[in-house]
Amino acid sequence: MKPATSEPFSLARRNPPGLRQNLSRFAFAVVLPALMRLLCRLSPVCRIPGTNLVIITGFDSTQEVYSRHVDFEVPYEERVKILRWQGFVLALQDTPEYHDMYDNISRLWQPADTTRVQEIARRTAETILAETWEELDFIQDLVKPVLMAIVEQHYGVTVPDEQLQPFFDGNLAGSGFLFSGPWITKKQRETGAAAIDGVWPVLDAAMAAACANPDPTTVLGRYYSGGPDPAFSEAKLRSALMTMIGGYLPTCANASGRIMDVLLSRKDAMQFMQEAVHAKQDDSVLTGLMEALRVNYIIPFLWRRAAQDTYLGEGTTRRRTVRKGKILAVSLPTAMYDRRRIEHPKRFDPGRSPAVRMVYGHQFHHCIGASIANTVLVEMFKAVLTRQPAPARKAKNRKNRWVGAYPWNLWLALSKASAAP
Ligand code: HEM
């Protein structure tokens, strides 16, 4: 047995640069998408012989699976146990417990908070950029601090400096563990448990501090200054907090890096975004961001399990039987490239129908944090894209560095000359 280590959790240490990282990057960024797109053409619902697996790559089949959430349930119960995270909505079926958690979260994280999120994101991004000339590590020096500013100033979760990196890494690794597939290896189990060890104590300390001295301008302060609520216990709050942080940091960090990658590698995309930013058209900025995210999506698969023997594609020539217990690997990025429904899917085309972008899922488990994500992404990209001429890759570090499934360092050369008024 390995001796217990007291070193703080580090995603970068677990994924050191080198051949293994490069091979896994190549497999995930090049081989897997190519294979999935081929599968989408040949068999959008594909049962893998000798396994319990059905791969869903078609646009219509993905929407069918997602819209039939009672027939195709979420299969994450074992994984949330390992993360000690009861009550995570995406791991719950359509039960009273799900609706209770969902309603509690919606009461605490209110739509009107968007203005506050926007203010914090804008102020933080602009302050960073006001002090940054010539070069910037987009992920570590802009995205991470902006995301964390929302956690601290809006949620009311202060993260001590020495715990910041393990906290951030722990959230990213926890999410990676949750969505890493139908089988749990010993190594994955250990990584998941170690990752989350750096997260729960920070949340517990933040709740204790907010209880002792509630600041009603924060989400936690709002909870504690509202008086006891028997319907929303502290145990539920704890789970909700993990949900709104664990669902937020990994997705937004991942999405930001991938979107920037698209803008840097496609002139038309960068030009569209810069024009939208300079015209102060936030709606167009958001549309461009969502299109870039469709082009370069954050995660290869999300998962479902057949709750009973059933069919997919009833009434079509592609009707497929799906037996109870089968695990469905649903590939959103491939579905959003399905040529049967999306014209020229490789093109960056902000003018296409928004109905083909399923970046936040579809129907029952549709993302609860979409408005927070949209607001933060718009503010971060606006801040960096006001620079004229457009940001480019730094000459000396043209390649992004990835850590596991996450874009980690993305070096930008910024123009010194002018930040737009
Ligand atoms: C660009 C950023 C984001 C992307 C691409 C994204 C994507 C998604 C997707 C695809 C789903 C559906 C998963 C499924 O049905 O299997 C989902 C659900 C969810 N997301 Fe997000 N998300 C983002 C940001 C956020 C943020 C900021 C939060 C929290 C503040 C969040 C919290 C959640 C939660 C809790 C669910 C489950 C909702 C439910 O079960 O009803 N996400 N997200």
- Compute the distance between CA of residue 327 and CA of residue 276 in angstroms, rounded to an integer: 42
- CB-ligand 1 contact for 180 (6 Å cutoff): no
Give the DSSP letter string of 180-218: S-S---HHHHHHHHHHHHTTHHHHHHHHHHHHHS--TTS
Return d(Cα 301, Cα 36) in angstroms, integer: 11
List per-residue pLDDT tens for the chain, 421 residues long.
444 557 899 999 999 889 989 999 999 999 999 999 999 999 999 999 999 999 999 999 999 999 999 999 999 999 999 999 999 999 999 999 999 999 999 999 998 899 999 999 999 999 999 988 789 999 999 999 999 999 999 999 999 999 999 999 999 999 999 999 989 999 999 999 999 999 999 999 999 999 999 999 999 999 999 887 888 999 999 999 999 999 999 999 999 999 999 999 999 999 999 999 999 999 999 999 999 999 999 999 999 999 999 999 999 988 999 999 999 999 999 999 999 999 999 999 999 999 999 999 999 999 999 999 999 999 999 999 998 888 999 888 888 899 999 999 999 998 764 444 4
CATH code of the domain covering residue 315: 1.10.630.10
Q: Which atom of ligand 1 is nearest to the CA of 66?
A: 15
With a 6 A CB cut-off, is 367 part of the ligand 1 pocket? yes
On whether residue 331 sits in a domain, the answer given is yes
Which DSSP letter does residue 52 get?
S
- Cis, bond preceding 389 (omega within 30 deg of 0): yes
Read off the DSSP letter of residue 45.
E
Distance 246 CA to ligand 1 centre (A): 10
Looking from the CA of residue 373, the nearest atom of ligand 1 is: 27
Ligand 1 touching residue 117 (CB < 6 A): no
Q: In angstroms, what is the span from residue 244 Cα to ligand 1's centroid?
A: 9
The distance in angstroms from the start CA to the end CA of the chain is: 60
Ligand 1 centre and the CA of 252: distance in Å? 10
Q: How many residues would you count in the chain?
A: 421
Q: Is residue 1 part of a domain?
A: no
Please state the domain count of the chain.
Answer: 1
* Dist. CA 161–CA 139, nearest whole Å: 18
What is the C-alpha to C-alpha distance for residues 166 and 156, in angstroms, rounded to an integer? Answer: 18
Q: Residues 361, 304: contact at Cβ < 8 Å?
A: no
408 lines ligand 1 (CB under 6 A): no
Six-digit token pair at 12? Answer: 């970068």
Domain that holds residue 338: 18-419
- Burial classification of residue 111, based on how many CB atoms lie within 10 Å of its CB (0-12 exposed, 13-18 middle, 19 or more buried): exposed
User: What are the φ/ψ torsions at residue 181 (nearest 5 degrees)?
Assistant: 130, 180
pLDDT for the residue 5:
56
Six token digits for residue 408 = 């980690």
- Are 304 and 312 in contact by the 8 Å Cβ rule? The answer is no
* Confidence (pLDDT) at 416: 64
> Strands 401-403, 310-312: parallel, antiparallel or unpaired by DSSP?
unpaired
Tell me how far apart the alpha carbons of residues 407 and 258 are, in angstroms, rounded to a whole number: 7
Cα–Cα distance for residue pair 327/22, rounded to 1 Å: 29
C-alpha of 42 from chain center: 29
DSSP states of 294-353 as a string? HHT-S-S-EEEEESSSEEESTTSTT-EEE-TTPEEEE-HHHHTT-TTTSSSTTS--TTS-
Query: What pLDDT is recorded for position 421?
Result: 44
Distance of CA 279 to the CA centre of its chain: 28
For residue 400, how many other CB atoms are within 10 A of its CB? Answer: 19
Please identify, by atom number, the ligand 1 atom nearest to the C-alpha of residue 358: 10
Would the CB of 361 count as within 6 Å of ligand 1? yes
Nearest CA to ligand 1 atom 12: 361
